[in-house]
Amino acid sequence: MRQVKHLLAGKDGAIHATTPDAPVLAAITSMAEHYVGALLVMQGAQLAGIVSERDYARKVVLKGRSSSATPVADIMTADVVTVGPEDSVEHCMRVCTQHRIRHLPVLDGGRVVGVLSIGDLVKAVIDDQGEQIEHLQRYIAG
């Protein structure tokens, strides 16, 4: 099974982020522009939290709050679940399932080096299974 660092090597390296004091509307606009479901919330170079479309729906829309007047800090998840570059895809899938999350920031020595989505993980599992099937078919035919 591949490791997180292998998946990050295949991505464009972009890390989409916002700040705790940014208006939620700006964060949601950024998510839409970049076609992502979550943004890291950065305080300088430090990870302060993560904000997702789910946070927006549950903590702004359903509560009738103003998207332009509410700061990201009010709706973000501050206790962020993270993984490291050496972690396996299988481990990441377990973490996402256990915590019911869809985005995993990747930290290396306390520094953010990327983000994996559940889609990235599912694609990796499907690719790995496809390779295994191909090997087994060659073995059986050979």
pLDDT tens, the chain, 142 aa long:
799 999 999 998 899 999 999 999 999 999 999 999 999 999 999 999 999 999 999 999 999 999 999 999 999 999 999 999 999 999 999 999 999 999 999 999 999 999 999 999 999 999 888 888 888 888 888 7
How many structural domains is the chain composed of?
1
Report long-range pairs for 109-112 (Cβ below 8 Å, ≥24 apart): 111/45, 112/15, 112/40, 112/42, 112/45, 112/47
- CATH number of the domain enclosing 89: 3.10.580.10
Q: Which candidate, 86, 113, 81, places its Cα nearest to that of 97?
A: 81
Q: What is the DSSP letter of 59?
A: I
pTM of the model: 0.88
Full residue range of the structural domain in which residue 24 is found: 4-141
